[in-house]
């Protein structure tokens, strides 16, 4: 607990003990002497920036006086946003979350501050101060829980994104909680929200959800794309913008609809969708960003065609697919996992490929998500790769190597709390243990 002695009294004592006069204090803190005099005489309110400067001069930890500042300057009068805002941001910057909560509670006694707090949470979210942003979004959402407002829905959207992590069960619960709010969002915001929700369910392998959300996204994106290119809309210079070009959401949803058929081993349907998706001649945009995404979708669609044919038994596609992923580092988690699935399914010897990608495989546990798939999806792919590697070496009777990958699989599955994978590897672990014991007896 800090001393209950008022801040200014502690400052006055510090000045006397260290023989510091007002002029010297002004020079050390780079605060005008007249301003300091007014503060010391209680004719001017101490700002958080000035408090931080004084705290530094007094050689005390950052935020040392924050609890007292709340008591002496914030809670003793009616809330004033110009005073609260910089203190709130500074607490968020220093991760002083207990003080963020105190400020929120003081302000939310008057619901007129909800819009201002919402804007602050948005700014903190984009500055990656997400723990503090989450506290504000939760408070604003709670204040509007009995309303069907767009702001409530947007708070839930941000909280969904903040809650996503490596714990698959928590991701599932976050997705289920957020899903009912999507239709309350602005239609353009719905596009990005559906994309993020789709990715979450995809990482969880909930193909029923992926299919339904992909269809919704596809329908909405086509409508918005058509509206954006209507004569009336094209004249509007200041339209709300989405995170990606509008055509992205059409192409992306097509890609995901095809992936559901692929995962359900409906390869003919998956191929038909892939061939249709490969045609992007309908895209009107020609700017640099549009051309970038168009090029990527063309590449991904071609990769899907290679892969779908390979899984359907056309083994001549393996070299084509390998060449595709070899030059694209960000596709390696997915690509290597797919190669091992094909190898196990069709009993292909891929030792030469495992040797070729030895360094890449060893580094995949630290692989970050790319622009299209977020980290939780990449983690899921790494777990899948380790599972397939275990099966591959187990089928070859190379138990030492199989056990090595099984151990890594165990660690990664437990890290992301993938319950289905945990059950699977425990069964394999017992099987390998018995094989090892039998081998030792021989």
| pLDDT, tens digit (0-9, with 9 covering 90-100), for 366-415 | 655 444 445 555 677 788 888 889 889 988 988 888 888 888 777 777 77
Predicted TM-score (pTM) of the model is 0.83
Residue 88: predicted pLDDT: 97
Residue 364: predicted pLDDT: 72
Residue 138: predicted pLDDT: 97
Helix 7-17 crosses helix 33-40 at what angle (to 10 degrees)? Answer: 120
- Identify the CA nearest to 358 among candidates 378, 334, 381, 332: 332
Residue 79: predicted pLDDT: 83
Residue 419: predicted pLDDT: 58
Q: What angle do CA 260, 336, 293 make, to 5 degrees?
A: 60
Residue 442: predicted pLDDT: 37
Residue 440: predicted pLDDT: 42
The CA distance from 227 to 246, in Å, is 10
Question: Where on the phi/psi map is residue 30: left (φ > 0), alpha (ψ -120 to 50), or beta?
Answer: left
Q: Which residue has the tokens 């058929």?
A: 261
In this structure, which long-range contacts are made by residues 263-268, counting pairs with CB atoms below 8 Å and at least 24 apart in sequence? 263/205, 263/207, 264/207, 265/311, 267/308, 267/309, 267/311, 267/312, 268/312
Residues of the chain scoring pLDDT < 50 = 1, 369-373, 440-442
Residue 371: predicted pLDDT: 43
DSSP letters along 85-133, please? HHHHHHHHHTT-HHHHHHHHHHHTTSGGGHHHHHHHHHHHHHTT-HHHH
Residue 220: predicted pLDDT: 97
């Amino acid at each position: 607990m800090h001393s209950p002695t008022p801040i200014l009294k502690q400052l006055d004592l510090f000045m006397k003990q260290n023989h510091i006069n007002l002029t010297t204090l002004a020079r050390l803190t780079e605060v005008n002497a007249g301003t300091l005099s007014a503060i010391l005489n209680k004719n001017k309110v101490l700002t958080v920036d000035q408090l931080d400067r004084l705290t530094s001069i007094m050689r005390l930890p950052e935020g040392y006086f924050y609890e007292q500042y709340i008591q002496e300057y914030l809670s003793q009068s009616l809330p004033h946003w110009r005073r609260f805002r910089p203190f709130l941001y500074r607490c968020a910057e220093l991760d002083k979350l207990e003080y963020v909560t105190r400020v929120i509670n003081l302000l939310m006694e008057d619901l007129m501050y909800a819009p201002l707090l919402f804007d602050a949470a948005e700014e903190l979210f984009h500055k990656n101060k997400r723990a503090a942003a989450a506290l504000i979004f939760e408070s604003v959402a709670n204040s509007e829980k009995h309303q069907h407002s767009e702001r409530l829905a947007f708070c839930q959207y941000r909280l969904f994104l903040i809650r996503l992590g490596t714990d698959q069960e928590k991701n599932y619960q976050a997705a289920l909680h957020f899903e009912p709010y999507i239709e309350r969002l602005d239609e353009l915001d719905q596009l990005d929200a559906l994309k993020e929700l789709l990715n979450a369910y995809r990482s969880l392998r909930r193909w029923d959800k992926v299919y339904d959300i992909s269809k919704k996204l596809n329908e909405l994106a086509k409508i918005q794309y058509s509206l954006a290119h209507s004569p009336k809309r094209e004249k509007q210079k200041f339209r709300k913008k989405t995170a990606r070009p509008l055509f992205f959401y059409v192409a992306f949803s097509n890609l995901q609809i095809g992936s559901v058929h692929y995962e359900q081993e409906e390869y003919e349907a998956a191929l038909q969708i892939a061939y249709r998706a490969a045609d992007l001649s309908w895209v009107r945009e020609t700017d640099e960003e549009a051309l970038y995404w168009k090029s990527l979708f063309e590449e991904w669609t071609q990769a899907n065609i290679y892969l779908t044919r390979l899984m359907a038994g056309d083994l001549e596609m393996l070299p084509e697919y390998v060449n595709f992923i070899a030059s694209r580092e960000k596709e390696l988690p997915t690509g290597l996992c797919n190669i091992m699935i094909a190898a196990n399914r069709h009993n292909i010897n891929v030792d030469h490929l495992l040797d070729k990608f030895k360094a890449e495989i060893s580094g995949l546990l630290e692989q970050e998500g790319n622009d299209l798939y977020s980290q939780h999806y990449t983690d899921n792919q790494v777990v899948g790769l380790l599972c397939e590697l275990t099966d591959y070496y187990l089928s070859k009777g190379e138990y030492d190597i199989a056990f090595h990958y099984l151990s890594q699989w165990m660690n990664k599955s437990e890290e992301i709390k993938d319950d289905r994978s945990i059950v699977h590897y425990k069964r394999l672990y017992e099987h390998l243990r018995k094989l090892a014991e039998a081998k030792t007896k021989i």
